[in-house]
Structure 1
Amino acid sequence: MSANPFLDPTLVHGDLYRGDGRLADRTQALHRAKISGSDVADTIANLLAARVPRGAAVLDIGCGRGTTTLRLADRLRPRRLIAVDASAALLRTTRDRLGDAGALGSVVCADFHHLPLLDSVADAAVAAFCLYHSPTPTLAVAEIARCLRPGGAAVLVTKSLDSYAELDHLVRAAGLDPHGTSRPSLYESFHSGNLHTIAATNLIVIDVQREEHVFHFADATHLARYLTTTPKYRITLTGGIPALAATLRLRLPAPPYTTQSMVSYAIAVRP
């Protein structure tokens, strides 16, 4: 078992993404808290729209719940849109959301190290907030490059190593996890610092753009809702969100609680 939950295959293919509830709750808590930073799905769609004509064939690798997939469908009007994820539960959500929006697209359940797709099948590909689940992200990037036509564009997105580090200190100060500040970053395998190097192993990197996102948790319950979605800490407190919020109120200074993450976008092309 890896010390990093995001690199532990048992967790990644089990509790973390067996259903879509944890990811939905995490995303909702972060969106409610964000006070600074662009919408990531919009940014990805805009970056691709500047390089890929409408009617392109597009891959969304590690699509999750399909938020970026939907934005790509709306912005690029691709002739073919394929959403790929290793979680069948997340793919069901993506498929349903595409259907509800009247958007055309297909879903493929697959490991991004072994994409069941032909060489040069796509004009563009996105891999957002997923490659840090790979212990060998260069192999995943090689697969993405293989599926792109020569000159095809890719947008790879990740977070900084120190994302949400302020919460490490809060968790430790509240006595919820005494090792909260020493646990490895969830993003250690693929992060803002090594994004360019890893992308450049199989793609030509045109640009890397970075933007700080700031999050403001207004009260202990809001923070507790987020903390219950992150696997980073070893919190053994029972009683769910109410008990966790009560402990935070008792042991921490008064809110708000602020944290940040650097989001980085590599724009690259297949040689």
Structure 2
Amino acid sequence: MTANPFLDTDRVRDTLYSDAGRLAQRTTALARAKTFGRHPAAVIAELAADGPRGTVLDIGCGRGTTTVVLAERLDPPKLIAFDQSVALLSEAQRRLAGRMGVRYMRGDFHTIALPDASVAVAAAAFCLYHSPEPAAVVAEIARCLSPGGLSITVTKSADSYRELDEAIAASGLDPEAADRPSLYETFHSDNQADIVSSCLDIREIIHDEHRFRFTGAAHIAAYAATNPKYQLPSDAREIAERLRQTIGDGPLETASTVTYVVAARR
């Protein structure tokens, strides 16, 4: 296993995204905790509306949360949901059932099987940190964009959820939790613009603060049990009980910066 599980190809394929339920549990727990910050899918759709009309590509579409909003807000002539996970693509297809003009494509975002200059808008949200060389993915996005086409990349700050890391470490469940590299180390809020600018012309950079309040040990455990940064028991109830015994059952507040970089093909 590599130091960063988001860069471990086998683990990403076989564990992290082979089951849509694992991702749903993590995102649901995080959504329950959120107290401040715009919904990224809504922001992406708003930014994408400034792009040319044509094919929209949602790279790393996951369960289809952003894909659904892009379909509803933009109603593009063609919308491509792109991901490497069969399970996540199936979930996206279920959520978009009956909508015309949507295509589902499985593949590696380093080699997108689309013609040059065939995409009007490409969105890549919370996925480029799965690449050890995100600049190569940006180059592939640039290749796919039509003249005047827009790229919208989205990532998080490297120090996201630091207070959670510290709580897990303090509990003794995973003493090294706060010392491991960030899951977002290859593509984060501080290096994103530099990486994107290597291939595309940047038009806008937006930093949104997101704040979260986990209500207690059970809520923390529901999230932490599916976070691959931690080495924890698989049973969230066991995690919650250990947290209660060590750091208590009070609330925990944390934060993250979500950064959007809008860029155009040169």
**TM bin (shorter chain):** over 0.9
8 A contact 1:122–1:147 mirrored in 2: yes
**Are 1:128 and 2:130 an aligned pair?**
no
Deviations along 1:19-48, one digit per CA (max 9) or x if unpaired, are 111111111001111000001100000011
Root-mean-square deviation (CA, aligned residues, Å) is 1.1
The aligned length equals 266
Matches within 5 A, 1:57-96: 57-96=55-94
**Are 1:107 and 2:100 an aligned pair?**
no
Matched AA of 2:74: L
8 A contact 1:73–1:103 mirrored in 2: no
Q: Structure 2 length as normaliser, TM-score?
A: 0.97
**Are 1:27 and 2:24 an aligned pair?**
no
Deviations along 1:98-127, one digit per CA (max 9) or x if unpaired, are 115x35301000000010110011110000
Matched AA of 2:166: H
**Structure 2 SS opposite 1:233:** coil
Counterpart residue number, 1:243: 238
8 A contact 1:172–1:179 mirrored in 2: yes
Counterpart residue number, 1:265: 260
8 A contact 1:160–1:191 mirrored in 2: yes
Looking at structure 1, the residues matched to 248 and 88 of structure 2 have their Cα atoms a distance apart, in angstroms, of: 37
Counterpart residue number, 2:222: 225
Aligned counterpart for 1:198 among listed residues 179, 187, 195: 195
Counterpart residue number, 1:137: 134
**Structure 1 SS opposite 2:121:** strand
Looking at structure 2, the residues matched to 150 and 269 of structure 1 have their Cα atoms a distance apart, in angstroms, of: 8
Deviations along 1:136-163, one digit per CA (max 9) or x if unpaired, are 1001011111110011001000000000
8 A contact 1:137–1:198 mirrored in 2: yes
**Structure 1 SS opposite 2:139:** helix
Shift of 1:250: 1.1
8 A contact 2:52–2:148 mirrored in 1: no
**Structure 2 SS opposite 1:60:** strand
Shift of 1:219: 1.5
Aligned counterpart for 2:143 among listed residues 114, 134, 146: 146
8 A contact 1:73–1:104 mirrored in 2: no
Shift of 1:50: 2.6
Counterpart residue number, 1:15: 15
Matched AA of 2:149: G
8 A contact 1:98–1:104 mirrored in 2: no
Counterpart residue number, 1:51: 51
**Are 1:212 and 2:212 an aligned pair?**
no
Could you list the structure 1 runs, at least 4 aligned residues long, displaced by more than 3 angstroms after superposition.
Answer: none
8 A contact 1:70–1:103 mirrored in 2: no
Looking at structure 2, the residues matched to 244 and 66 of structure 1 have their Cα atoms a distance apart, in angstroms, of: 29
Structure 2 regions of 5+ residues with no counterpart? Answer: none
Deviations along 1:220-247, one digit per CA (max 9) or x if unpaired, are 1111000011000112x46x11111111
Looking at structure 2, the residues matched to 161 and 52 of structure 1 have their Cα atoms a distance apart, in angstroms, of: 32
**Structure 2 SS opposite 1:258:** strand
Looking at structure 1, the residues matched to 249 and 85 of structure 2 have their Cα atoms a distance apart, in angstroms, of: 39
Matched AA of 1:222: H
Shift of 1:95: 1.1
Shift of 1:254: 4.1
**Structure 2 SS opposite 1:139:** helix
Counterpart residue number, 1:41: 41
Structure 1 regions of 5+ residues with no counterpart? Answer: none
Matched AA of 1:37: G
Counterpart residue number, 1:5: 5
Residue identity over aligned pairs, in percent, reads 49
**Structure 2 SS opposite 1:18:** coil
Shift of 1:178: 1.1
Looking at structure 2, the residues matched to 168 and 160 of structure 1 have their Cα atoms a distance apart, in angstroms, of: 14
